[in-house]
Structure 1
Amino acid sequence: MLLTITTIHSPATELGYLLHKHPDRCQSFALSFGQAHVFYPEANDERCTVALLLDVDPVKLVRGRSARLEQYVNDRPYVASSFMSVAIAQVFSTALGGRCKDRPELAQTPIPLLAKLSVLPCRGGEGFLRELFEPLGYTVKATGHLLDEQFPEWGESKYFTVELQNTLTVSDLLSHLYVLIPVLDDDKHYWVGDEEIAKLLRHGEGWLSQHPAKEQITRRYLKRQHRLTRQALAQLVEEDNPDPDSTEESHAEEEAAVEKPISLNQQRMNAVVTALKDSNARRVIDLGCGQGNLLKILLKDSFFEQVTGVDVSYRSLEIAQERLDRLRLPRNQWERLQLIQSALTYQDKRFSGYDAATVIEVIEHLDLPRLGSFERVLFEFAKPKIVIVTTPNIEYNVKFVNLPAGKLRHKDHRFEWTRSQFQTWANHITAKFGYTVEFQSIGEEDTAIGSPTQMALFSLNN
């Protein structure tokens, strides 16, 4: 049973610091069911690969029991399963916990990683494998195996060789593998009790609560025990945010108060609508639509044929619907509107098929490690012809008299970029996903510090 993890982060050998395993040494670890071996098939500044080889002893699995033949003759020593999850937790415990004594900043830095599992059981097939990993931002390559190469007519097996490529922290990669390997196998080699809920919540922190397949993941991880599954799902909802809607409403009001003296929100809306019309974008999806400020303008304009709003907050969507209901539009006009509850960092097929996507004052609410997942969701999977992104220009904050020095405009902002930082990010998008970009200023422009809002208009290359 073999797992390899490769990076081209420079210098690549820093992977050894993150895993607390020196590239020049081969190490072995005794486990209750066999042995784990860690070694580096390649290790240089340009590319480094660590291998975790798990040697499961079938005799140890049945020692002390009344053994049957099938307990000795099975696939457990050869495939990735809950045995691999246990080995990850024991052998790479420090890395799994996101700690690194010698390189603490590196442990929190997303780096390019490629994980390869030599044989992975996928009960549910390749489609389910992709449903689990692609929403987390992975590029998935799966190679199926025949039941028996001597008898190809028997068809495909449930086993795949899998490669998972992403840019993320080592801790996140190991957490994803720890949870999802036994989910794919749909089995565990040990008794599952209440303590498994704590493990699931600990290793699923930051990603599981918003995963589109969280119910399936939770159910399979807990071996389909209904009581445990209900408890875990309830805690996932609570821990994600005890009251996200009221918090968001309060913070949005504070941001609006900062920008109100210059009517910045209205200027933003006007600039976005003008850009949409100039691009002849008639089918528009507003990602992170909030309480529907842009939706209201688009829906009142017959130029737009389809208007869709997406937000993670149910309460925001309810408020948006209430506001839109007051428009008193003809009945046939309401067919143009759709509201969707969804997280923007997970792939959603409903985001596809639009002329344009608008992302108005949204990206600054995302943690930087999650920004890469959002980029793939929007520019790689949804891939609209036009993408309009606006975000605050932090250089302009000094002109807001009611904003204390050093403070961001919104308590939930994870960052606010300078003009140079925003343009660097946008140019990274064009190079990676096949778009071109133009930049526009929104609001009164100061020759030294620019305008209060900056906008990027991305166009898909033909």
Structure 2
Amino acid sequence: MKKQWGGGRRPGILGPVFMTISTTGDVRSPATDLGFLLHKHPARAQRFPTSGGDAHVFYPEASPERCTAALLLDVDPVALVRGAGGGPGGARGKGARGGAHGPELAQYVNDRPYAASSLLAVALRAVFASALRGRCDARPELPGRALPLRVEVPVLPARGGPDLVRRLLEPLGWDVSAEVLPLDGEFPEWGDSRYVRLALTGRLRLADALRHLYVLLPVLDDAKHYWVAPDEVDKLLRAGEGWLPGHPEQELITRRYLVRRRSLTHDARERLELARLAEADDAEAAELDNAVDEKADTEERPVPLAVRRREEILRVLAETGARRVLDLGCGQGQLVGALLKESRIGEVVGMDVSVRALNEAARRLRLERMPERQAERVRLIQGSLAYGDVRLAGYDAAVLSEVVEHVDPPRLPALEHAVFAVARPGHVLVTTPNAEYNVRWESLPAGRSRHPDHRFEWDRAQFRAWAEQVAERHGYRVGFRPVGDEDPEVGPPTQMAVFEAEPAHHREDDRTAGADKTASRDASRDASRDAHKDVNADADEETKEEGA
């Protein structure tokens, strides 16, 4: 490999590990605000020791109109090799699998001093720690401001090529240029290398941009220079907050970042699913309940569908005579508030995975100012339907209003077990969109779901098949009701299943409780084993898709 510092580099000739971040501005909002955000003064060049070598920060240009910060990492390959090992603290390629580099890269001759990798990601975290956290004590208003950014990485290892680079970065709001570098510019007949020259442009918060790079640089390289310990899951979730749970390539990112360690990947997938559901619940209720533009629909629907759905739920609960009710996936508490207005309801429990949604529900319900007798009727608790929860046992009815479609299909059995086997209320009400009705929404493109977070949408036959199978497995009877005006061809906009526990099964003696606990343990063990199978299958599939 040839090494040339500075500009004028010919294609295929590698320079040092290097990246730049640029922004533009004007007199009112000067580009040099970048220095405040990075906590690095544009007039000074600074050096910082990191685990991979010395990191240098300097500004090739700094004016009110344009400012560029450069991060250069001077990697010592000899120190890397001498520090290599198979345990914590030693250099490691892919966890237990060893190095991820090809036969052309080994020991003292390798690409680490030249190519952006996990070494650069670690340097980013060490040098720009406050910027990654979105903190700027000198100018607190700056971190929340989206800036016109340009990020350039001259040499980036990309296992998966430019296509994978775009799949990872474009969903995050970046315009991506990924130019494949030749193996050697002097010998073009040798073909292309696995490296690209990356340029990203977009209007983002600087903290978000740095988090994207921190996670995705080692993901694209598909290797790490250090041992991956369990706390790496926490690092991934912190850096991926707000963007990773909903990323279309979340599975690939998680596997690669955690170097395909099965236990860590499984843990991350579970926690990311909870985070995704929490983010969905944090959205405004009106956005989720009426994600399709109601104005584009026919004028015979003056009452919002969300209101009609709550009215139908209250009507069915009155028919069942339920006095103690669970609202599972309660969001910001609209249904909880409606239930509290029903004097016959003695207790309401709202459960959600999102603390923010629960806090908003408490605010809307005015729990702090609610009379003591009224406050005794309601509880808001955090929890997930991915796990059995004994706090939910013994209630007359449970409502899952527009919840199941936000759950990934492989996780529906876990939800089913948590609700119908562990909680096992006397009645269960499940509402979900009717996919057949989507053709009646003029503002909804063909083939699209009503909300971006919907993992699926069932037609009437699919919903009926699922509900009948659940009822048969758990000793319930089930009936179906329309919600909203029925169209003679495609049915109602929303469909409801009403489950009723059969008397022979709806007993709360010690034998049943013991059986439920045993079933819960068995199901949890089976779900864990199935999840590990999913990870293995996904890894095999990824290997087939990505190639070497």
Q: Which residue of 2 aligns with 1:311?
A: 451
Q: Distance in 1 between matches of 2:65 and 2:169?
A: 26
Q: Give per-residue Cα distances to partners, 1:20-49, cap 9 Å, x unaligned.
A: 000000000112331000000000000000
The partner residue of 1:9 within 21, 25, 29 is 25
Paired letter, 1:309: S
**Is 1:299 aligned to residue 440 of structure 2?**
yes
TM-score scaled to structure 1, two decimals? 0.59
> What pairs with 1:102-251 in structure 2 (closer than 5 Å)?
102-242=138-278, 244=280
SS in 2 for 1:309: coil
What's the offset of the Cα at 1:62? Answer: 2.3
Q: Residue by residue, what CA displacement relative to the aligned partner does 1:49-77 show, whole Å, maximum 9, x if unpaired?
A: 0000000011211235699x931100000
Out of 77, 96, 104, the residue aligned to residue 58 of structure 1 is 77
Secondary structure at the counterpart of residue 219 of structure 1 = helix
Is the Cα–Cα contact under 8 Å of residues 269 and 294 in structure 1 kept in the other structure? no
Task: Tell me the distance in 2 between the aligned counterparts of 1:54 and 1:168.
Answer: 25
Q: Deviation string for 1:112-157 (max 9, x for gaps)?
A: 1000001000000000000000011100111211112232222111
Which amino acid letter does the alignment assign opposite residue 266 of structure 2?
R
Contact 1:144 1:161 in 2 (8 A): yes
Residues 325/191 of structure 1: CA separation in 2 closer, same or farther (3 Å cut): farther
Counterpart-to-counterpart distance in 1, 2:445 and 2:57: 58
Contact 2:24 2:66 in 1 (8 A): yes
The number of residue pairs the alignment matches comes to: 308
Percent sequence identity over matched residues? 48
1:101 is matched with which residue: 137, 145, 167?
A: 137
Where does residue 126 of structure 2 map in the other structure?
90
State the alpha-carbon separation in 2 of the partners of residues 187 and 79 from structure 1: 12
User: Does structure 1 residue 37 correspond to structure 2 residue 197?
Assistant: no
1:299 Cα shift?
3.3
2:487 alignment partner, one of 315, 322, 327: 327
Which aligned segments of 4 or more residues in structure 1 are displaced greater than 3 angstroms? 64-67, 242-245, 247-256, 265-268, 290-301, 304-310, 312-328
* Aligned-partner Cα distance in 2 for 1:252–1:28: 48
For the residue of structure 2 that corresponds to 1:235, the secondary structure is helix
Q: Could you list the runs of 5+ residues in structure 2 that have no partner in the other structure?
A: 1-16, 86-90, 92-104, 302-430, 464-481, 494-548
Partner of 1:360: none
Any idea what the Cα deviations from partners look like across 1:389-446, whole Å, max 9, x if unmatched?
Answer: xxxxxxxxxxxxxxxxxxxxxxxxxxxxxxxxxxxxxxxxxxxxxxxxxxxxxxxxxx
CA distance in 2, matches of 1:253, 1:178: 32
Greater CA radius of gyration, 1 or 2? Answer: 2
How do 1:242-391 residues align onto structure 2 when only pairs under 5 Å count? 242=278, 244=280, 269-270=297-298, 296=437, 298-299=439-440, 306=446, 308-314=448-454, 317-318=457-458, 327-329=487-489
Contact 1:295 1:307 in 2 (8 A): no
Could you tell me whether the CA contact under 8 Å between 1:291 and 1:319 is conserved in 2? no
CA contact under 8 A between 1:291 and 1:316: conserved in structure 2?
Answer: no
| Distance (whole Å) between structure 2 residues aligned to residue 40 and residue 327 of structure 1 | 64
Shift of 1:110: 0.6
Taking a change above 3 Å as real, the CA distance of residues 294 and 266 of structure 1, as seen in their structure-2 partners, is farther
Supply the AA of the counterpart residue of 1:312. Answer: P
Q: CA deviation at 1:325?
A: 12
CA contact (8 A) 1:26 1:38 kept: yes
Listed as ranges, the gaps of 5+ residues in structure 1 are 257-264, 274-289, 332-336, 338-462
Is residue 98–residue 171 contact of structure 1 (8 Å, CA) maintained in 2?
yes
Query: 1:227, CA displacement in angstroms?
Result: 1.3
Deviation at 1:270, TM superposition (A): 4.3
User: Aligned partners of 1:52, 1:220: CA distance in 2, in Å?
Assistant: 24
- RMSD (CA atoms): 4.0
Contact map agreement 1:15 1:48 (CA 8 A) in 2: yes
Deviation by residue 1:268-295 (Cα, 9 ceiling, x = unmatched): 5348x9xxxxxxxxxxxxxxxx976998
- Code of the residue aligned with 1:192 in structure 2: it is V
In structure 2, what is the Cα distance between the partners aligned to 1:326 and 1:159? 57
3-state SS of paired residue (2:60): strand
SS at match of 1:192: coil
Secondary structure of residue in 1 paired with 2:110? coil
- Distance in 2 (CA, whole Å) between partners of 1:88 and 1:253 is 37
CA contact (8 A) 1:180 1:217 kept: yes
Query: How far, CA to CA, are the matches of 1:238 and 1:305 in structure 2?
Result: 29
The residue identity in structure 2 corresponding to 1:78 is Y
> What's the TM-score once normalised by structure 2's chain length?
0.50
**CA-to-aligned-CA distance 1:204-241 (integer Å, 9 cap, x gap):** 00000000000000000000111111110110011223
Conserved? CA contact 1:292–1:309, under 8 Å: no
CA distance in 2, matches of 1:323, 1:23: 61
**Residue 299 and residue 201 in structure 1: after superposition, are their counterparts in 2 closer, same or farther (change >3 A)?**
same
Q: Distance in 2 between matches of 1:305 and 1:111?
A: 32
Separation (CA, whole Å) in 1 of partners of 2:69 and 2:262: 38
Paired with 2:227 and 2:136, the residues of 1 have a C-alpha distance of 32
